Amino acid sequence: MDASQPNPAKRRVHDPRRGAFNIPYGYWILICIVYIISPFDFIPDFLPLVGWTDDTGVLGFAIYNVVKWYRARRMAPIGAPREHDVV
């Protein structure tokens, strides 16, 4: 293998500012908020208790992403580029 080509066997380093599928935490939070307030659900809300389970799961995922986003922002070194900075 040529030295100029990347080695596919090497693992990609995970960016702590990004969540699942390498999407930034802020986008996941926004997606969760839109899903919770939208009238369209995987399980309709008019079904008692069962209809709220998908919203509860998405709310839990949103809270998880808020915590991870906060920790990633708090642990970033001073002067490090943030997600919204243009490089």
For residue 8, is it within any domain?
no
Sign of dihedral through CA atoms 32, 33, 36, 39? negative
Is the CB of residue 72 less than 8 Å from the CB of residue 25? yes
For residue 50, is it within any domain?
yes
Select from 60, 65, 67, 70 the least CA-distant residue to 30.
Answer: 65
Q: 3-state secondary structure string, 29-62?
A: HHHHHHHHHCCCCCCCCCCCCHHHHHHHHHHHHH
- Tell me how many domains the chain contains: 1
Contacts of 53 (CB under 8 A, 6+ apart): 43
For residue 14, is it within any domain?
no
| pLDDT reading at 9 higher than 70 | no
pTM of the predicted model as reported, rounded to 2 decimal places: 0.65
For residue 60, is it within any domain?
yes
Helix (H, G, I), strand (E, B) or coil at 26: helix
pLDDT band at 10 (very low <50, low <70, confident <90, very high): low
Mean pLDDT of 39-51: 81
For residue 63, is it within any domain?
yes
Enclosing domain of residue 26: 20-75
Mean pLDDT of 13-20: 67
